[in-house]
């Protein structure tokens, strides 16, 4: 833990003790990057007090030159979020639950990172099953973001709009790194922390200038597929994938509770796990 993070942890300890001793909160949670051990010289401290009854209107405060962002939440609010993590029930023909969870991803990230203060130490709020639930939803969410960016990118490339394509490429590279971090079990903290979570620089740059063969898109397909397979392993025998319309760029896998799909834009083709492995093999033939 670097000095900036250490200082903020010590301040978080003090403020948490004050809230508990004064009975202003029945629990105090440390959330976000600092709960994962990350901070920089201008980082805030995010604390959430679990409060019975009427929620107080807390304001931020400055402690030893560090801003403390205090929020109050009712126990039932936290329980509603935890309930979302206990099942992955999104189905292709009913995306209502997916939309509800995606709208709450920031709150779920805070809950995923949350540490509760007690007896001089910080302990995880979520149990291992709930942490696995966050992983599933975070991977599915980032795969959805990747699919949306891929749709924009392939359209821009087809129309020869190089400058906007470069912007979307960078966004897609960041998204793929976030996807891989989520698949590895990390919370999706935000772009600036991704290099620390990934433990390595962002993946190889995407070069859509090679649009003649669409080979440039294959690393995207492989990275999305492998991240999803990390979260939902497949041990089926490899099978021949379905025939896809040309060009092959734009097709990405998705995993819902009712199985695997290949998606391009609004087209979803259901596939088996073995067909997914066969499709991954076909997009891995360039040796990368």
192 assigned to some structural domain: yes
Q: What are the two backbone dihedrals, phi and then psi, of residue 91, each rounded to the nearest 5 degrees?
A: -120, 150
pTM of the full structure: 0.92
Q: Tell whether 288 is covered by a domain.
A: no
Are 68 and 112 members of one domain? yes
Range of the domain at 155: 131-283
β-strand 259-264 against 267-271: which pairing, if any? antiparallel
Q: How far apart are CA 216 and CA 98, in angstroms?
A: 30
Q: What is the pLDDT of residue 108?
A: 97
User: Does one domain contain both 62 and 120?
Assistant: yes
Element (H, E) at 31: strand 27-31
The answer on 140 and 118 residing in a single domain is: no
Same domain assignment for residues 117 and 140:
no
| One domain, residues 147 and 88 | no
CA 149, CA 151: separation in Å to the nearest integer? 5
179 occurs within a structural domain: yes
Tokens of 181: 């971090």
Does any domain span residue 157?
Answer: yes
First-last CA distance in the chain: 36
Same-domain check for residues 142 and 269 = yes
Same domain membership, residue 226 and residue 101: no
Q: Are residues 78 and 117 in the same domain?
A: yes
Q: Are residues 143 and 263 in the same domain?
A: yes
Q: Same domain for 181 and 109?
A: no
Whether 276 and 141 share a structural domain: yes
- The one-digit pLDDT tens for each residue of the chain (288 residues) are 899 999 999 999 999 999 999 999 999 999 999 999 999 999 999 999 999 999 998 999 999 999 999 999 999 999 999 999 999 888 877 778 888 899 999 999 999 999 999 878 999 999 999 999 999 999 999 999 999 999 999 999 889 898 999 999 999 999 999 999 999 999 999 999 999 888 765 555 677 755 556 788 999 999 999 999 999 999 999 999 998 875 677 899 999 988 999 999 888 999 999 999 999 999 987 544
Q: How far is CA 86 from the centre of its chain?
A: 17
How many independent structural domains does the chain possess?
2
* Final residue belonging to a domain, choices 78, 101, 126: 126
In a domain, 69, yes or no: yes
Picking from 85, 100, 126, the residue at the C-terminal end of a domain is 126
Alpha carbon distance 101, 153 (integer Å): 26
User: Domain with 79 in it: what CATH number?
Assistant: 3.30.460.10
Are residues 137 and 274 both part of a single domain? Answer: yes
H-run or E-run covering 158: helix 128-158
Q: Which of 126, 150, 173 is the last residue of a domain?
A: 126
- In eight-state DSSP terms, residue 94 is B
Angle subtended at Cα 262 by Cα 261 and Cα 267, rounded to the nearest 5 degrees? 100
């Amino acid at each position: 833990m670097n000095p900036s993070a250490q200082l903020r942890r010590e301040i978080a300890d003090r403020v948490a003790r004050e809230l508990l001793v004064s009975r202003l909160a029945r629990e105090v949670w440390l959330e976000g990057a600092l709960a994962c051990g990350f901070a920089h010289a201008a980082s805030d401290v995010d604390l959430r007090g679990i409060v019975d009854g009427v929620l107080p209107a807390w304001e931020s405060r400055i402690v030893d030159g560090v801003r403390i962002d205090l929020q109050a939440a009712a126990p039932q609010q936290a329980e509603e979020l935890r309930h979302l993590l206990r099942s992955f029930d999104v189905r292709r023909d009913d995306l209502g639950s997916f939309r509800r969870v995606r709208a709450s991803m920031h709150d779920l990230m805070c809950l995923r990172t949350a540490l509760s203060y007690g007896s001089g130490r910080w302990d995880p709020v979520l149990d291992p099953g709930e942490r696995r639930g966050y992983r599933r939803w975070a991977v599915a969410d980032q795969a959805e973001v990747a699919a949306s960016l891929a749709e924009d990118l392939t359209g821009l490339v087809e129309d020869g709009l190089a400058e906007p394509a470069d912007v979307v490429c960078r966004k897609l590279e960041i998204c793929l790194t976030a996807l891989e971090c989520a698949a590895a079990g990390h919370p999706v903290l935000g772009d600036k922390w991704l290099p620390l979570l990934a433990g390595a620089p962002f993946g190889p740059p995407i070069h859509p200038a090679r649009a003649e063969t669409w080979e440039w898109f294959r690393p995207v397909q492989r990275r999305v597929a492998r991240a999803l397979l990390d979260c939902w392993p497949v041990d089926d025998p490899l099978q021949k994938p379905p025939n896809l319309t040309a060009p092959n760029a734009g097709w990405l896998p998705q995993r819902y509770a009712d199985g695997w799909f290949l998606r391009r834009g609004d087209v979803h083709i259901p596939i088996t796990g073995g067909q997914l492995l066969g499709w991954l093999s076909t997009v891995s033939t360039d040796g990368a």
